[in-house]
Structures are given as C-alpha cells and as structure tokens.
Amino acid sequence: MDQTDAEQAGREIVTELFARVRRGDTAAADLFAANGVITGPGGYEVVGRDAIREHYVRNIAEHGPQPEIEVLLAEPPWFVTVLKVGLRDGGANRALDLFEVGDGGITRLELWSQRA
C-alpha cells in the first residue's frame, strides 16, 4: 500500500470509528487490531479488542458521546483528530486523539480531553 492509499484507508477508519460511536454502535471496537490499545489521562489503559468493546459499551451507555471531527491530520501511520464531543447530559468535551493505524486496524489510540 502506498502512502496515498494508506492515508485514505486511515482516514476512512478514523471517520468510521466516530460515526459508529455517534450511532451508539459498539462495533466501533471492530476497527481496532486484535491487540489494539487505548490510553488516556491518569494512566487509563485498555488492551485488546474485547476490552476495547467493553470500553465502548460503558462509555456509550454512560455518556452517549456525539463526536464531531473538527480537524483530521494524516501522516500515516499517524492520524490526529481535534473533536467536539457532545454528551447526553448536555455538556461537551474538547478532545485531541492520536491514532496509529496499521493493516489490521487501529493499533493505538491516545486520548486527551477536557470539558468544553
């Protein structure tokens, strides 16, 4: 896969991840590699697709996130998004997500966010 193909494929995966989350679809986890990792503030870490699925089950049930991409930067295998994430309680977060995307899907997602 050349750089242009890798960029297009990565953009599609990242965009689809947020579309699934908006729909409340825990199949968002299927976009991750089997050994994918999510990390976040305070040492938060989720390892493996099954654990990532549980992360989305919990997050969607508790918060009903509605992520909207404001910026998507690509330099494969790295993708960076700036997001506004509406929440069920009427609040919102601003988020910066760093993705590493490989042939098997998202291998790493690092999350940073704060209340908007």
Smallest CA-to-CA distance from 6 within 73, 71, 74 is with 74
Please give the pLDDT value at position 100: 98
CATH of 3-115, one of 3.10.450.50, 3.20.20.370, 3.40.50.720, 3.40.50.620: 3.10.450.50
Looking at residue 3, its pLDDT comes to 78
Secondary structure letter of residue 24 according to DSSP: T
Per-residue model confidence (pLDDT) at position 2: 79
Supply the pTM of this predicted model.
0.95
Domain boundaries, the chain: 3-115
DSSP letter string, 43-112: GEEEESHHHHHHHHHHHHHHH--EEEEEEEEEETTEEEEEEEEE-TTS-EEEEEEEEEEETTEEEEEEEE
Tens of each residue's pLDDT in the chain, 116 residues:
677 899 999 999 999 999 999 999 999 999 999 999 999 998 999 999 999 999 999 999 999 999 999 999 999 999 999 999 999 999 999 999 999 999 999 999 999 999 98
